[in-house]
Structure formats: structure tokens, C-alpha cells
Amino acid sequence: MKSRTWFWILTCTSFLFAGMHAQAAEQKTKVLIVTGFDVGAHKWHETTQQTTAILEESGQFTVKISEDIEVFASPSLNDYDVVLLNYGFWKQPDPSDKAKAGLLDYVKGGKGLVALHFSCSSFQEWDEYAELLGRSWKKGVGGHGPRGKFTVKIKDSKHPITRAMEDFEADDELYAKLSGDAEIETIASAYSDWSGKEEPIVFVKPYGKGRVVHNVLGHDSAARENKSFQTLVVRGVEWAANGKVAD
């Protein structure tokens, strides 16, 4: 009799913990990282795995990875709260028309988008992609000086992404002369010796009902070890998905 009682207690306990685990997973923000191509200097395999670890270790996210930009055409895209772009280079062919519409509709409908580093250089002939990101690297216009150390200045310490952050030193590429006239809110910037101007480093914008975060830092795994960069990524993904950042 006792053995039967213990059996039912253990069974019920197992179901309880399984249910709690499933509920916790459902409460996490669902992130899709889209990657799969970049210039040789950008080791997208490494940085994708690193960025996945940064997000998962925060305890706030579940992360899936796709190496096929045609995922933008899939109905499953709407299973995710936010898409993170970790790719780059203008030689990659444009997505299909269906995939283009899928990504735009996804963000317009209220989902989040986070663009990292060289993703701003992709799909040079797709004008609405440049509008979506707010700024783009046009071949022959955009660029950067030698990779090195520079100060990233927090422009808005009250924005949820940069709240209470201080200026920090980055050892990275400082992108400059990005193209576009869409209205953006710059929340972090840096002075470029190459352009002779203060350049937007992290900026946000609405797109339809959705939120876009564009962060041009993150050249390689060493650059992404920077703790302030990691804070910007975690908070940026959370804000893009939910419109807020938990304290």
C-alpha cells in the first residue's frame, strides 16, 4: 500500500515539475537568429553561437538559429517574438519577394527586429530593407577606419536599453557614413576619425507596430566579449520584443 502511495506521489510530482518547466519556457522571449553568410573577416558561425550564449545565459530567452533567409517567408516566423540579424555583405542575393514581404509584415505587425554589425550592408537593391533598418551601408559610401579602441557615448541614459549605462570603451570597428534619412533615435554614438563626425552606434525606430534596434558594433567574438556590448544586445532584444526592459 505504501509503495503504491509513493508511486502516485512521485508521478504527480513529476507531472507538476514538467508542467512548471513547460510554463517557464513559454514565458521566455522567443528569438530567431538569422545568419549564414558574411565577409571572411566576420566569422558568423562563431559570433552566432556566442550571441546565442549571451542571450540564453541571461535566462530570458529561448533561441533558435536559421541559416536560410527564406525563413522570412515561412508562417513559422510568427512563432518568434523577435528576429536578430547576424549576417552581412552585398554579394548575397536578395530574398525572394515572398520572404521580403514576410519580414516586413512580421515587423509591421508588432514583432521585434534587432540588426547587428554588417547586416546593414545586405540587399543593396532592396530599398525597403534600408528603410526598415533606418541606416544602411551603401557600397562605396559607408566604411570605417582601422579596427581599434574608441569611446561609445551613451546619448540617452533614460531609454530602457541604455538606462543607467555609462560611456564605455569598445575595441571594434566604428561604422561611419551610413546612408538613410529615416527618423531614428540614437541612444549611443561614437566619434569617427575616419569620417570626422559623431556617428550613430545604437539607434532605434518604429516600423509599423513593431520596434527595430540597430547596433553596428560586434565585428568579432573578441568585440562581443565586451560586457557593455552584451548588455546592449540583451536589453535590445528584450525591448524589440516587448517594448520594455525589466529592472
Residue with the three cell numbers 556566442: 50
| Choice among 23-32, 147-156, 161-170, 181-190 with the minimum mean pLDDT | 23-32
pLDDT, one tens digit per residue, over 101-113 is 999 999 999 999 9
Kindly list the distances between the CA atom of residue 203 and the CA atoms of 69, 85, 106, 197, 238, in Å, as whole numbers in the listed order. 24, 15, 20, 16, 15
What pLDDT is stored for residue 238 in this prediction? 98
Sign, CA torsion 43/40/236/29: negative
User: In the predicted model, is pLDDT for residue 244 greater than 90?
Assistant: yes
Residue 20 has pLDDT above 50, yes or no: no
Please state, in angstroms and rounded to a whole number, the distance separating the CA atoms of residues 68 and 167.
36
What are the boundaries of each domain within the chain?
A: 29-242
Which pLDDT belongs to residue 16?
A: 43
At residue 18, the pLDDT reads: 44
- pLDDT greater than 90 at residue 9: no
Output 49-57 pairs: Cβ under 8 A, ≥24 positions apart.
50/221, 50/224, 51/84, 51/86, 51/116, 51/218, 51/224, 51/233, 54/224, 54/230, 54/233, 54/234, 55/31, 55/233, 55/234, 55/237
Residue 43 has pLDDT above 90, yes or no: no
Domain 29-242 has CATH 3.40.50.880: yes
Taking the C-alpha atoms of residue 133 and residue 109, their distance in angstroms, rounded to an integer, is: 16
The C-alpha atoms of residue 160 and residue 24 are separated, in whole angstroms, by 24
pLDDT of residue 5: 55
pLDDT in tens, 189-227: 999 999 999 999 999 999 999 999 999 999 999 999 999
Residue 2 pLDDT grade (very low, low, confident, very high; cuts 50, 70, 90): low
